Structure 1
Amino acid sequence: MEKLRVLFVCTHNAARSQMAEGLLRALAGDRYEVYSAGTDPRGVHPLAVRVMQELGIDLSTHCSKSVETYRTIPMDYVVTVCDHAREHCPYVPARRKNLHQSFPDPSAVGGDEEVRLEAFRRVRDQIRSWLEKTFL
């Protein structure tokens, strides 16, 4: 059976879309080919890598990519995970459905490292919950 292709898009492809990619691949990689990209890619956030490692998911080899990288690859689902990306992303058609689910930007949270880590964990867990309801 052919896997369905899913593309997650956020502004910088640094945290939310990267975590969504890693989570869906870990949860259902046997059913989905999973990608992520940004409208203005800037590098994977180290705290995203860290909180995903807590679940045994390695993002350390991931890199930020532009949404333009996937313009010619047919996607079954294209999911914007932040409002800015939804408003500024060039339209990438999905064969099945374009979805939007906005999650807070954990990299915008200030404070000491533990406060920031907790913000990343909270968003990671919100993404996981949404993925389980939507794709599993």
Structure 2
Amino acid sequence: MAAKKKQEKKLRILFVDSKNDLSSQLAEHYARKMFSDRYEVYSAGPEHDIVDCDLLSVMYCAGEDLRDLVSKDFSDDRFLPRDEGFDFVVYTEKPVFDRLAKKSPWQGRQICAHMGTREEFTATDDAELADQLLAMADRVSKWVAENLADPEKLRSLISA
């Protein structure tokens, strides 16, 4: 009999932004796309909204289909594990990290990785908005590729 290689437990990551509508959704998408063999990936926010419609449209035109993503708040037990047992919680917006980090149940596992907010966009037309959304997607994709490749790298980024 051939010995089966023991399957390693996947690390759980939660990406957080204010409404789970933009950068945390991108991070969840790219982390699942690149590292589904290593991580269980989720995203949520303290408030519930819808995924940014402009983001969905721009990304679809760029060849990334995000239409199956769903915005979630922290109490959404349809899409989030009930036990809150995340190995890492990555805040993709610094203001949300500043507001929640000290009172969250995830002490010692939190990472602040500001990836931008919709409020920071300066677009004056649809073309500029598309460019800014694509630039954010590129930033998020690069951050995910660079930092999730090695769990030790994630551990070194823990902020709170």
Please say whether Structure 1 and Structure 2 have the same fold, judged by a TM-score greater than 0.5.
Answer: yes
- Which residue number in structure 1 is paired with residue 90 of structure 2? 79
Distance in 2 between the 1:32 and 1:26 partners? Answer: 11
2:23 aligns with one of 16, 22, 47: 16
Say yes or no: does 1:91 pair with 2:104.
yes
Deviation at 1:65, TM superposition (A): 0.8
2:113 aligns with one of 83, 90, 101: 101
Distance in 2 between the 1:33 and 1:52 partners? Answer: 23
- Which residue number in structure 2 is paired with residue 2 of structure 1? 9
Cα distance change of structure 1 residues 76 and 127 upon mapping to structure 2, 3 Å threshold: same
Q: Which has the higher strand share?
A: 1
Moved more, 66-75 or 28-37: 66-75
2:125 aligns with one of 90, 96, 112: 112
Amino-acid identity (%): 27
Moved more, 118-127 or 106-115: 106-115
1:65-112 deviation digits (Å, cap 9, x = unpaired)? 112335633011100010221123351316x73111112213652321
The AA in structure 2 aligned to 1:75 is: F
Cα distance change of structure 1 residues 51 and 24 upon mapping to structure 2, 3 Å threshold: farther
1:15-50 deviation digits (Å, cap 9, x = unpaired)? 100000001100111111110001112110012223
Given that 1:22 and 1:59 are in contact with CA atoms closer than 8 Å, whether structure 2 keeps it comes out as: yes
- Which residue number in structure 2 is paired with residue 68 of structure 1? 75
Distance in 2 between the 1:92 and 1:57 partners? Answer: 33
Name the count of aligned residue pairs.
135
TM-score w.r.t. length of structure 1: 0.87
Distance in 1 between the 2:23 and 2:41 partners? Answer: 14
Distance in 2 between the 1:55 and 1:119 partners? Answer: 13
The AA in structure 2 aligned to 1:64 is: S
Show structure 1 runs of 5+ residues with no match.
none
Moved more, 8-17 or 67-76: 67-76
Moved more, 17-26 or 72-81: 72-81
Show structure 2 runs of 5+ residues with no match.
1-7, 150-160
